[in-house]
Structure 1
C-alpha cells in the first residue's frame, strides 16, 4: 500500500496540475527556484511586474528513456536532469512546484533546436553572463539553441540589468564579479527567464500548481 502511495505522489508531481496539453520535447519549463543568493539577485533584477519571478528555465526532453530537462545550472553546467529532480529544485506553493511549461506557437524547428541544445552538454556554467565565451547560463542555452530556418536566434536579447528595483547593485553581483576580475556586465545584451517567459511567441501549455 505504501508503495502505491509513493508512486501516486511521484506521478502527481511529475504531471501538470493545470493544463490540457501533455508535455512535448522542446517545451520550455520556467521555474521559480528555491531561495538562494543567486536566485534572490536574479529575482531582484529581472522580476519587474511578472506574476511569478522566474529564476531558471530548461528544455523538456520527453520519452528519452525517462522524462528529463536539458538545462544549464550553476552546479553542473549544461546537463540532463530527471524531470522529477528538476521539479524538486523548485520553490513550492501549496505543496506544488512553481513551474510553468510554455511552447513555441510555431513548432516547425523544435526538433532541430533540441538537437542543437544537446550539442552543448558538458559546457560549463556562464558566471560571466557574457555571450560567445564557451559557457552558458540557463536562458542563454535556449537563446543559442532555438534558431529560425535562416539561422537567426528567435529569442531577442535586451540590455541586461543587474540592479534591484531601487537602483542598488546587490552585494551578490558585486562580490561575484570581483572574484571573476570582471566588471558587472550591466547593459550588455543578454537574456533572462522572465523576459523569455513573456515572449509572445510562446503559449502556456500547463503548470504544476
Structure 2
C-alpha cells in the first residue's frame, strides 16, 4: 500500500491558515483608531494645512471604534454635534467628508483591559460639547483631545505646542484668524494640544488598512 504524500496537503493548510490570520488582522476591532481626511469646511482645511507632516496624509478628524454584536460604532467629538457614538457608515459618509480617505490604525501594545477602560470612559463622556477654542482647559473636547483623554492614563499620546501658522509663510492661517475673531479670543499659539496628523504619526500606532 502506497504511503500518502502529506506535503501538498500540509502546504495547502498552511496557506489557508496564513490567509485566515491575515484577514483577521485587517478586521476592525474595539479600540482601533480611525482617521478621516479633511472635509470641505474652512476649519477642517485650516486644521490640515497647519498640522500636516512629511509622514501624514491629510487627516483632520479622529475617533475610536467599538465592535458590538458584529456592528461597528465610532465614538468621536464632532463640530456641531459634540461627543457622540454613531455607526461606522455614518462616520464614513459624513456629508462634509465625501471623497476623502478613511484609514484604520491600531495601538500596538494595548491590552484588552486597557481597551475596555478606554471605551468605558468614551461612553461616560458622551454628550459633552465640542471644544471650539482648542484650549485644553476649556469646556468640552475637540476630536483629538477626546482620544487623548481616553488613553491619558496609558501615556499613549503626547501633548505638543500647538501652531496655527502656515508652515510655508509662518503667518497665521486665514481660517484660524477668522475662527478666533468669531470667538473673540486670541489665537492660542504655543499652548499644549494635539491633532489628528500628529497622532497618526505616533510610534504606538500601526497602520492597518484603508477603509475608504
Alignment TM-score > 0.5, same fold: yes
* Cα distance in 1 between the residues matched to 2:88 and 2:151: 21
Query: Contact (CA 8 Å) 1:32, 1:99: kept in 2 or not?
Result: yes
- Which residue of the partner structure matches residue 39 of structure 1? 44
* CA displacement at 1:20 relative to structure 2: 4.4
TM-score by length of 1: 0.82
Range 181-190 or range 19-28, more displaced: 19-28
Deviations 1:23-80 (A, max 9, x none): 1111000110322101110111001323411000011111267321100000200001
Unaligned 5+ residue runs, structure 2? Answer: 1-22
With the length of structure 2 as denominator, give the TM-score of the two structures: 0.81
1:76 lines up with 2:81 in the alignment:
yes
CA distances 1:152-171 after superposition (whole Å, capped 9, x unpaired):
54210000011112212122
Q: Who is 1:179 aligned against?
A: 182
* Residue aligning to 1:145: 150
Q: C-alpha root-mean-square deviation of aligned residues, in Å? A: 1.9
User: Residue 102 of structure 2 corresponds to which residue in structure 1?
Assistant: 99
From the CA coordinates, give the structure whose radius of gyration is larger.
2
Q: Structure 1: which 5+ runs fail to align?
A: 1-17
Aligned partners of 2:155, 2:39: CA distance in 1, in Å? 30
8 A contact 2:81–2:129 mirrored in 1: yes
Would you say the 8 A contact 1:19–1:205 is kept in 2?
Answer: no
Q: 1:155 aligns with which of 150, 154, 157?
A: 157
Larger proportion of helix = 2
2-structure distance, mates of 1:159, 1:79: 27
1:203 matched residue in structure 2? 206
